[in-house]
Structure 1
Amino acid sequence: MYSNSGYLNDIDIDILDQEHELSIYSCGNYRFISRKEMVTLRPNGRIDYQLIYVAKGKADFEKNGVRKELAAGSLILYRPLEPQKYYYYAQNTPELFWIHFSGYGAEALLDAAGFKEQDMLEIGFTSEYTQIMNKMIRELQLKRPGHCELLTLYFREFLTLISRHQQEKGIGSTKIKSEIETAVHYFNEHFSQELSIQDYAAANHISTCWFIRTFRQYMGMTPMQYITSIRITKAKELLETTDLTINEIGDLTGYQNALYFSRIFKKTVGAAPTEYRKSVSYING
């Protein structure tokens, strides 16, 4: 069995920390190579929290007397003093990561990540998860200056990614997400040019209606609304920090028609470009 782990106090002990919002005590990785099985039984649990992530294969876990097999991409939470039973079998080729932690803010952070009403989440697999946990293991092993602060930052990042995954579950497949993220990147790079949603969809061999509907579901606005938001944000920046004319700013942000630019700007911001510049100049002295 391959094992790589790090401990805050160089030993695997459970700690209850109520002085800090969040404290990370240990993080590790198990990968079965030759050992046939490993069974962990803690009838009285631990006084800290434990998260176990199934990165590959599958493993069995028991909660409230019910045994369940979890496949790769699953995450299970054991709370303080909760009995722990889990079973790893070589035939299932499991690879697992675990994190022990506590702190007075731990429960609120877990609730925000999706554990408010359940203890098992399907979060899928992404290298971002394992990269974060490997960083945590390294920090616990080396204990360089600032390691406690970095550990909490890494763990918060991990929980935030879990929360994002839960919120995006309705979006669809990874391929769909990739399509939208590619579009977002393209719009941010080419917002100063004339953009047509129909032309973009055709060039990428996707339906215009599907693209608009899926983009709105993913980003909370239509593609054209998103492009407008990029352009107006950039226009505001140029009005605040340069002496470029209104016509020049409109041209730089994708509006060749100055009157149309002014109309869109006022509709979005609530003031015409000239008025906005004067108000900002007044505030900044």
Structure 2
Amino acid sequence: MTLKNEVNSLKEELIVALQTPPLPYYWESGRSTFRIGDRHPNRRNFGLFDVLLVVDGELHIGENGTEWTLGIGDALLLLPEGEHYSFRPCEQKTTFYWVHFEHVDWHQSPLIEESEVVNPLSPFDKPKLIRIPKKSTLLSPQLAFDLMQQLLELPVGDAFWEKQQLLFRFLAMLENGISDIAKTPASRLAEKVAVFIQQHYQEEITNETLSSALHFHPSYIVRCMKMKYGVTPVQYLLQFRIERAKQLLVSTEWSIDRIAAEVGFQYAPYFSTCFKRGVGISPLQFRKKYLN
């Protein structure tokens, strides 16, 4: 499959991206069992995210005109605004877990959108997104069922931190579930390139170096990195070196010359030029912002 085909194949998949900070906030959870003929309640502008996780049977849920039939191990994330409704009563006994949480900064988008965005500054400056698939089928649903049961066994109105931690673990499970969709061969290769660069950033790295180490054509490596991170491998290397230099500037008393050499620059003046171009101030000015 070509890179273009990989991108096009993801266009119809949806994610809900939660900007952090802040982190999602747990409200409540439960386990419901519907008999034949029962329906999920209809709601409008509920105000909270509602995750449904089917344990047994089938649940027929719609949101803003889109409808899903959820089976065992299927999870659906309903949005805090709009209309949620049942478009068909249960045709068999159906059991599902639900969890409500709050988050104030989010958007829904095609899954591929995040890999198409080109950050003009640095992939390391990009705010963290928790990317939850709109609808997913868990590969190991029993792990999610056990986690939801742990939530239910905690006392109502107490165990705040335990509930928050279990919510984060559940959302991480859902987010990891999109890896088989989002991590196309091109995305996986880009991640391997990033790991290689981070492990060898002190060395001289070129596109030919990466091609030899990872056994892919240099132009394909460049295309994959630009799709995943919005930068070429060389730009990624430079920006990673700058990020590492920032850490050393505020955590050590090393000279600028030593830090430049430590992060892979042969010449300190060139390091200072690159640092100022990327950060907006010189290394010395950056250090003075944080150290007395």
Using a 3 Å threshold, how does the CA distance of structure 1 residues 140 and 270 change in structure 2: closer, same or farther? same
Matched with 1:61 is 60
Partner residue of 2:134 out of 117, 121, 124: 121
1:16 corresponds in structure 2 to: none
Against the structure 1 CA distance between its residues 136 and 233, is the aligned structure 2 distance closer, same or farther, given a 3 Å change threshold?
same
- When residues 40 and 183 of structure 1 are mapped into structure 2, their CA distance, relative to the original with a 3 A threshold, is farther
From 239, 242, 250, give the equivalent of 2:249.
239
Match for residue 259 of structure 1? 269
Measured after TM superposition, the shift of residue 217 of structure 1 is: 2.0
Structure-2 change in CA distance of 1:177 and 1:98 (3 Å)? farther
Q: Cα deviations across residues 44-64 of structure 1 (Å, max 9, x unaligned)?
A: 5589975334699x9562549
Unpaired segments of 5 or more residues in structure 2?
1-24, 111-132
Counterpart of 1:35 in structure 2 is none
> TM-score, normalising length from structure 2?
0.59
Q: AA paired with 2:281?
A: A
Paired AA for residue 284 in structure 1: L
Kindly provide the amino acid, as one letter, of the partner of residue 38 in structure 2.
L
SS class of match (1:268)? helix
Higher share in helix: 1
| 1:75 paired residue number | 76
- Whether 2:89 is the aligned partner of 1:85: answer yes
* 2:151 aligned residue: 139
Which one has more relative contact order, counting CA pairs under 8 Å at least 6 apart? 2
The CA distance in 2 between the partners of 1:122 and 1:232, in whole Å, is 38
Aligned alpha-carbon RMSD (Å): 4.7
**Aligned with 1:85: secondary structure?**
coil
| Deviation of 1:41 (Å) | 1.4
If you compute each CA radius of gyration, which structure gives the higher value, 1 or 2? Answer: 1
Identity of aligned residues (%): 20
- Could you tell me which residue of structure 2 aligns to residue 284 of structure 1? 291
Q: Distance in 2 between matches of 1:39 and 1:101?
A: 25
How does the TM-score come out when normalised to structure 1?
Answer: 0.60
Aligned to 1:15: none
Q: 1:255 Cα deviation (Å)?
A: 0.9
- Deviation track 1:36-85 (CA, whole Å, cap 9, x = no partner) reads xx7461375589975334699x9562549998545776626498984473
Q: What is the DSSP-based 3-state SS (H/G/I as helix, E as strand, rest coil) of the residue aligned with 1:75? A: strand
1:5 corresponding residue in structure 2:
none
Q: SS where residue 98 of structure 1 aligns?
A: strand
